[in-house]
């Protein structure tokens, strides 16, 4: 496993952790996490794939410039990483939650570079007014009182009850990542997500093999809603990970990895 820095769209330094050889599988993390949420995938999926886990602006070791950004800018950063590491190759792109929102922006801009798409614990819809206002309030708290105040109680929302009760190492890693998040990274990401585009109407035109992953204990992206929107994607398969909350790759890595490998091998 090694780390490298790649120049992103607006001169950002995008930190990337990479492992293995073969077709490229790019993993986009959730908010406000970093490449560590993909530890088990970097370890296992790299036996067959060149696994790449970039970190979004301000998270992990990626830099955060002064200007605000949009999720479209993050998709452009992902394309910089692809161009740098994959050259003309197509990639398999997997995004979890906020990483899924960025993956959808990537599809809209650079779909011709995609071999397949994995959307994990995410959703295609934009925020309604209430959700968007909640994000701006979180950004204000982060800036006024710090990231830890803004993220109070967040681990309970993203981890399912099974993980909270039975997987202390997962809980501990999530707490470590939450403690690493900076106030400004939290605020900027919330601002970007608050104004993200709605992709519900585009799903019917998706031509890529697509795997949608849902956790049956995911409170942020509930299974029933995921089932509904995944049906709109012509070639989508739905993988339900049991006893698992919003962070399927971390909470149930074996089940997640096996569904992903089954999907990728079937392409």
Q: Is 206 in the site for ligand MLT (CB under 6 A)?
A: no
Q: Is 248 in the site for ligand MLT (CB under 6 A)?
A: no
Site for ligand MLT in 106-165 (CB under 6 A): 158
The two three-digit tokens of residue 9, written as one number:
């769209």
Q: Is 170 in the site for ligand MLT (CB under 6 A)?
A: no
- State the minimum distance, in angstroms, from the CB of residue 190 to ligand MLT: 8
- State the minimum distance, in angstroms, from the CB of residue 226 to ligand MLT: 13
Q: Measured between alpha carbons, how far is 4 from 11 in angstroms, rounded to an integer? A: 15
- State the minimum distance, in angstroms, from the CB of residue 219 to ligand MLT: 10
Q: Is 98 in the site for ligand MLT (CB under 6 A)?
A: yes
Count interface residues toward ligand MLT (CB under 6 A).
8
Q: Is 30 in the site for ligand MLT (CB under 6 A)?
A: yes
- Which one, 220 or 261, has the nearer CB to ligand MLT? 220
- Which one, 193 or 203, has the nearer CB to ligand MLT? 193
DSSP states of 208-223: S-EEEEEETT-SSS-H
3-state SS class at 140: helix
- Which one, 179 or 235, has the nearer CB to ligand MLT? 179
| C-alpha pair distances (Å), 225 with each of 85, 96, 122, 185 | 35, 16, 10, 29
Q: 7 and 13 in contact (C-beta within 8 Å)?
A: yes
> Angle 176-243-266 (CA atoms, 0-180°, nearest 5)?
95
- State the minimum distance, in angstroms, from the CB of residue 233 to ligand MLT: 19
- State the minimum distance, in angstroms, from the CB of residue 47 to ligand MLT: 27
Alpha helices in 154-217, H assignment, sequence order:
154-158, 161-166, 168-180, 183-194
Q: What's the DSSP call for residue 233? A: S
**Residue from 193, 241, 260, 264 in contact with ligand MLT (CB under 6 A):** 193
**Residue from 15, 19, 26, 31 in contact with ligand MLT (CB under 6 A):** 31
Q: Is 214 in the site for ligand MLT (CB under 6 A)?
A: no
Taking alpha carbons only, the member of 100, 98, 137 closest to residue 117 is: 100
Q: What's the DSSP call for residue 194? A: H
Q: Which residues bind ligand MLT (CB under 6 A)?
A: 30-31, 97-98, 158, 193, 220, 246
């Amino acid at each position: 496993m090694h780390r490298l820095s790649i120049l992103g769209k607006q001169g950002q330094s995008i930190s990337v952790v990479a492992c293995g050889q073969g077709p490229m599988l790019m993993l986009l993390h959730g908010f406000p996490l970093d490449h560590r949420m993909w530890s088990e995938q970097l370890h296992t999926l790299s036996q067959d794939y060149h696994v790449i886990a970039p970190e979004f602006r301000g998270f992990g070791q990626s830099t955060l410039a002064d200007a605000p950004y949009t999720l479209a800018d993050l998709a452009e950063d992902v394309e910089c990483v692809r161009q740098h590491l994959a050259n003309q190759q197509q990639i398999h792109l997997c995004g979890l939650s906020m990483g899924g929102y960025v993956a959808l922006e990537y599809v809209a801009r650079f779909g011709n570079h995609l071999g397949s798409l994995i959307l994990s614990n995410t959703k295609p819809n934009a925020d309604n007014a209430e959700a968007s206002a909640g994000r701006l309030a979180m950004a204000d708290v982060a800036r006024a009182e710090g990231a830890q105040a803004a993220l109070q109680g967040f681990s309970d929302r993203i981890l399912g009850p099974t993980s909270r009760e039975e997987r202390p190492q997962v809980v501990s890693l999530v707490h470590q990542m939450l403690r690493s998040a900076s106030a400004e990274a939290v605020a900027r990401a919330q601002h970007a997500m608050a104004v993200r585009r709605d992709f519900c109407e585009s799903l019917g035109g998706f031509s890529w093999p697509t795997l949608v992953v849902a956790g049956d204990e995911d409170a942020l992206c509930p299974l029933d809603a995921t089932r509904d929107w995944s049906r709109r994607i012509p070639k989508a398969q739905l993988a339900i990970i049991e006893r698992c909350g919003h962070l399927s790759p971390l909470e149930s890595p074996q089940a997640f990895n096996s569904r992903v490998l089954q999907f990728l091998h079937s392409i």
